[in-house]
Amino acid sequence: MAEAETTINITQKGSVTASTARPDGPVIEVRNPGTGEIVGAVPDSDADAVTAAARRLREHQRDWEAIGPAGRKEWLLKLQDWLIDNTQTLGDVVQSETGKPRVDALIDPRFSIDLIGYYARRAEKFLADDHPAPHSPLGRVKKLTTVYRPYPVVGIITPWNFPLAMPALDVIPALAAGAAVLLKPSEVTPLSALELARGWAEIGAPPIFEVITGGGATGSAVVAVSDYVQFTGSTATGRKIAAACAERLVPYSLELGGKDPAIVLADADIDRAAHGITFGGLFNSGQVCISVERVYVEAPVYDEFVAKLTANVKALRQGLDGPEGAHDVGALANESQVEIVQRHVDEAVAAGATVLTGGKRTGVGTLFEPTVLVDVDHTMSCVTEETFGPTLPVIKVADEAQAVRLANDSRYGLSASVWTGDKKRGERVARALEAGAVNVNDVFSNLFNFALPMGGWGESGVGARWGGADGVRKYCRRQAITVPILPTQQRELIWFPYDPSKLRLAFGAMRAAGARGLRRVGISGTATTQGVAK
Are the beta carbons of 289 and 280 closer than 8 angstroms? no
Rounded distance between C-alpha atoms, residue 146 and residue 53, angstroms: 31
Rounded distance between C-alpha atoms, residue 469 and residue 126, angstroms: 5
Are the beta carbons of 244 and 217 closer than 8 angstroms? no
- Of the residues 97, 255, 400, 459, only one is catalytic, namely 255
Are the beta carbons of 284 and 33 closer than 8 angstroms? no
What length is written for the chain?
Answer: 534
Are the beta carbons of 512 and 521 closer than 8 angstroms? yes
Rounded distance between C-alpha atoms, residue 498 and residue 510, angstroms: 17
Of 196, 237, 197, nearest in space to 220 by CA:
237
Are the beta carbons of 169 and 108 closer than 8 angstroms? no
Rounded distance between C-alpha atoms, residue 117 and residue 214, angstroms: 30
DSSP of 103-135, one letter per residue? Answer: HHHHHHHHHHHHHHHHHHHHHHHHTSPB-PPPS
Are the beta carbons of 416 and 435 closer than 8 angstroms? yes
Are the beta carbons of 340 and 333 closer than 8 angstroms? no
Would residue 427 show up in a list of annotated catalytic residues for this protein?
no
Other beta carbons less than 10 A from residue 374's beta carbon:
20
Radius of gyration of the chain (CA): 28
Buried b (16+ CB within 10 A) or exposed e, 22-45: eeeeebbebbbbbeeeebbbbbbb
What letter represents residue 523's amino acid?
I
Q: Going edge to edge, which strands form the sheet with 180-184?
A: 209-211, 180-184, 153-157, 228-232, 252-255, 461-462
Buried b (16+ CB within 10 A) or exposed e, 190-202: bbbbbbbbbbbee
**Which SS3 state, helix, strand or coil, does residue 224 take?**
helix
Of 319, 286, 299, nearest in space to 393 by CA:
286
Of 394, 406, 295, 285, nearest in space to 341 by CA:
285
| Max CA separation in the chain (angstroms) | 99
DSSP 368: B
Tell me the catalytic residues: 255
